Amino acid sequence: MNRIRACVFIIYFVVLTLFMGLGALPIRVLKRRSMALSYAQLWSSLTLWGLKTLCRIRIRVTGAENLPDGACLIASQHQAYFDGFIWMTLAPKPAYVIKQELTRIPFVGPMLLLSGMVPVERAAGAKALRMLMKETQERFDEGRQIIIFPEGTRTAPGERVPLQPGVIALAKQAAAPIIPVATNSGLHWPRRGWMMTPGEIVIAIGEPLPAKADRRSLIDSIYTSWNALCDANAMPRPVDNSVDSPK
């Protein structure tokens, strides 16, 4: 039955994306960022509605009071494609840090750029980091909430990997709160594939971390907050089976 539900959701998602991709053409012609963001938020809301309705997945958010209306840096765990949709519905003016290749997806890619997402070509090294800092500063100045996945890739629930240097650079640059977020999305939407499992996905939003901390302190603060959020919400705590991220 779960396989059937997942297949129906995939069909729903593909049809929805094609339909809304065509509907976005006038917005792309007008090149209005605010319209593109609102349209992308609608697409994400409808996607999550399909996920909840067709796959019997509930969504519970804790600590929403810690999320400011203005600029902030959201440092979230990343376990599933779900994480790429949820902040479009939780944050008032979200801007994801995304992989450059996502901007090449037909229909979706142009809207990601127009709505103000921040693409990163990770193979570009130091140049990519400079561009990341420049574009995210522009989004901070616009009062937007920057969402970054410090692990750099989808991880399994309970898996711990080194944090990428980008989050350190952005944290030092940002004159805005740094908000840690833990999730168990990978328990119900695997990091590879679309075989969803019914149940409850939890998004646990923590209290702001100290701004402009040194590298070691910031990494420790993120891990400590993630662990506390996981413990408080009965989610798998990341196991320390890796070395720290490079300096």
pLDDT (tens digit per residue) in 192-211: 878 899 999 999 999 998 76
pTM: 0.90
d(C-alpha 224, C-alpha 23), whole Å: 44
Q: Where are the alpha helices (DSSP H) in 119-176?
A: 126-141, 165-173
Question: Greater confidence, 239 or 161?
Answer: 161
Write out the two tokens for 40: 């992308």
58 φ, ψ (degrees, to nearest 5): -95, 155
Ramachandran category for residue 180: left, alpha or beta (phi over 0 → left; psi -120 to 50 → alpha): beta
Q: 246 pLDDT exceeds 60?
A: no
Q: What is the pLDDT of residue 247?
A: 38
Helix axes 83-90, 33-55, angle to 10 degrees: 120
pLDDT (tens digit per residue) in 22-69: 999 999 998 888 899 999 999 999 999 999 999 999 999 999 999 998
d(C-alpha 135, C-alpha 118), whole Å: 7
| Tokens 């898996």 belong to residue | 159
d(C-alpha 88, C-alpha 96), whole Å: 9
d(C-alpha 174, C-alpha 198), whole Å: 38
